[in-house]
Amino acid sequence: DVKVTQSSRYLVKRTGEKVFLECVQDMDHENMFWYRQDPGLGLRLIYFSYDVKMKEKGDIPEGYSVSREKKERFSLILESASTNQTSMYLCASRPLGGEPYNEQFFGPGTRLTVL
């Protein structure tokens, strides 16, 4: 089974802190994604990466950056956390190509609270 793990289930940080959210997948997937999930807004794509050291902005990249130094690991960075970044953060991965084309494998999520 594909396994996507996220470093923390719950995280509490203070405004202005630098926050790292880590995601690791064990299936050698090329594509990795970071979403945030908020009530009434569904999942919104922050950034994604289709290869090591490659990244593309999603729909809401402002206030975030990412790092992909190794294929299995995709990190989301909040340079200076703000209260409006309090949310559930979900990481996902999928292989390049293959059927079904649309299946992304999600981690359990990190609930981040910024005080």
Partner 1 sequence: GESVGLHLPTLSVQEGDNSIINCAYSNSASDYFIWYKQESGKGPQFIIDIRSNMDKRQGQRVTVLLNKTVKHLSLQIAATQPGDSAVYFCAEKTLGGNEKLTFGTGTRLTIIP
Binding mask 68-107 for partner 1 (x = CB under 8 A): ----------------------x-x-x-----xxxxxxxx
Minimum gap (Å) between residue 33 Cβ and partner 1: 8
Q: Between residues 2 and 17, which has the closer beta carbon with respect to partner 1?
A: 2
Q: Between residues 17 and 95, which has the closer beta carbon with respect to partner 1?
A: 95
Q: Between residues 16 and 108, which has the closer beta carbon with respect to partner 1?
A: 108
Contact residue for partner 1 among 36, 46, 48, 75 (CB under 8 A) = 48
DSSP 65-94: EEEEEETTEEEEEESS--GGG-EEEEEEEE
Angle at 46 between CA 98 and CA 23, to 5 degrees: 65
Q: Should residue 61 be labelled a site residue for partner 1 when binding is judged by CB under 8 A?
A: no
Edge-to-edge strand list for the sheet holding 65-70: 4-6, 19-25, 73-78, 65-70
Query: Could you list the residues that contact partner 1 (CB under 8 A)?
Result: 4, 31, 33, 35, 40-45, 48, 50, 56, 58-59, 90, 92, 94, 100-109
